[in-house]
Structure 1
Amino acid sequence: MNKKNILVLLVLLGLTFTFLFTSCKKEDSYEELSRIADLKLQEAVKLTQDRPCGDIDEWSIETLYYRYVPIHPSFKQEYENLKAEYTTLRQRADKAFKGPVPYNTALVDIYTYLPPHFGLRCVEGKMKVMMANDLSLSEINTRLEQLLPEILNFFKEESCSDNTKWHILTIRKDCEFIPLVTTQTPNFRVFGEKMERYSQLYQAKRNLDTTMNCLTVNDKPAKGVVCENGKPVLQY
């Protein structure tokens, strides 16, 4: 056999082995990758739990999937590695999925709603991210009292020339319905964050204060907004 024929034979053998290897290579399994990804997620969460407090100023709060977790420099790198592994596995699982886009994807990290947290606190010697329901009734009342005037006065300096650009929003103070007028502003997101914190605190208060027996329907709602002297005025 001459050299030319030998070269052709080697090339054909190489292509054959490549085809066989590619054909036998196992495809990614959505179920298996999802299972491993969830294990990595659980491992990352567990890493942050039941940690002794130490200096609270050294801690930070991060969002992991659908929860907040307390992070300390002593394990931050290990946490970041697990989070990266989870994200990679979840993305591979999403690509392997055969059918409609699954709900349980890495994109849920972006779109999953998380209520606001209220900072870090040392509870029974362990670091904890505080939610509204973790606060005492007296602390909730204090925070509500601080937030209410900030919300009521948020649009105080805005002028009104077109009443169609103003809207009515009703909040609760104890059992009282309080209407306020809102309009779109460049810093409207800040107002939304204050409202979300107030809403979470108020609901936590309702859960704790069993003496509150409030009506659920406002029997005297505001019906509209008009502009008078450059300011929005509620109509009843």
Structure 2
Amino acid sequence: MKKILLLVFSLLTVITLFYACKKDNKYDELTHLAAIKLQEAIKFAENQPCKPVEEWRIDTISNRYVAVHPSFEREYIKLINEYKKLFEQAIKAYRPDKKEGLVYDTTPIELYPHFGVRCKEGNMIVLLAEDLDLVEINQRLEMLFPKVRDFFKDTPCTDASKWYIITLLKDCEFVPIAITNTPNFRTFEEMERQYRSLNAAKVLLTKGMDCPSVNPNPSQGIVCVNGKASVKL
């Protein structure tokens, strides 16, 4: 009797594994097809000839930017929709039972900031900091720094506990900046990310610039002085 039960149990195990593998294979296949379709859409967009800069828009798909022009947007969107459909089918194939749905990280991927589009070697690309030379990086840093530094300059300070400090690196100098949450904070955040991305590209191009890695004079906090936020050093 024990042998019969063991045989039945073994058969059930084999059947379960067979269907599990079959399900996983379907999921893997669809995921692979979705990835191929996504690359097809990206390559299609990347191989388009340059046209006036102001006519392009920047699309964010998966973990990258894509420059899109009205002349091929319809075909591009069709490919992207096919990619999304395959990906959705893959998720359903992996867990057909809604009660056992996939649990995955839905935190948005934060891409490096971009700096518009530019024609390069006959094709339009989305500019990242790494695509710029040192001269242009320095120009952009000089333009951005005062905007980031002074963004909250005229914001009233009545409660120092609502302010905090970030530190920017400017020519190897650690510059503390007092910031607080405001309705236009997103604008500041985008400029700050651009500045940090440009500065990181500059460090790579200049072999580190021999800057210290640790701030030798860290800030001691923030106080409100005459309605303005002031960093204590």
TM class by shorter-chain length?
Answer: 0.7 to 0.9
Q: What do residues 170-229 of structure 1 show as CA deviations (whole Å, max 9, x unaligned)? A: 100010000010111111111110100000000001011237101000011111111121
- 1:183 paired residue among 180, 197, 211: 180
1:135 deviation in Å? 0.4
**Structure 1 position 55, deviation (Å):** 2.9
TM-score, structure 2 normalization: 0.82
- Describe how 1:1-236 pairs up with structure 2 within 5 A: 29-98=26-95, 101=102, 111-210=108-207, 212-236=209-233
Q: CA RMSD in A?
A: 2.1
Aligned counterparts of 2:225 and 2:117: Cα–Cα separation in 1: 45
Which structure 1 residue ranges, 5 or more long, are not aligned? 1-25
Whose radius of gyration is greater, 1 or 2?
Answer: 1
Deviates more, 1:170-179 or 1:42-51: 42-51
How many residue pairs get aligned? The number is 207
Residue identity (%): 47
Distance 2:207 2:34 in 1: 42
**Structure 2 counterpart of 1:62, which letter?**
D
Any stretches of 5+ residues in structure 2 without a counterpart? 1-21
Using the size of structure 1 for normalisation, the TM-score is 0.81
Q: For residues 113-142 of structure 1, give each alpha carbon's deviation from its aligned partner in whole angstroms, at most 9, with x where no partner exists.
A: 211111111112221111100001010001
- Which is worse superposed, 48-57 or 190-199? 48-57
Is the alpha carbon distance of 1:211 and 1:195 closer, same or farther for their aligned partners in structure 2, counting shifts above 3 Å? closer
Give the AA of the match of 1:56.
V
The residue identity in structure 2 corresponding to 1:74 is: S
The amino acid of 2:157's aligned partner reads C
Question: Deviation digits for residues 136-164 of structure 1, max 9, x if unmatched?
Answer: 10100010001110011110111111111
What is the alpha-carbon distance in structure 2 between the residues aligned to residue 217 and residue 156 of structure 1?
A: 26
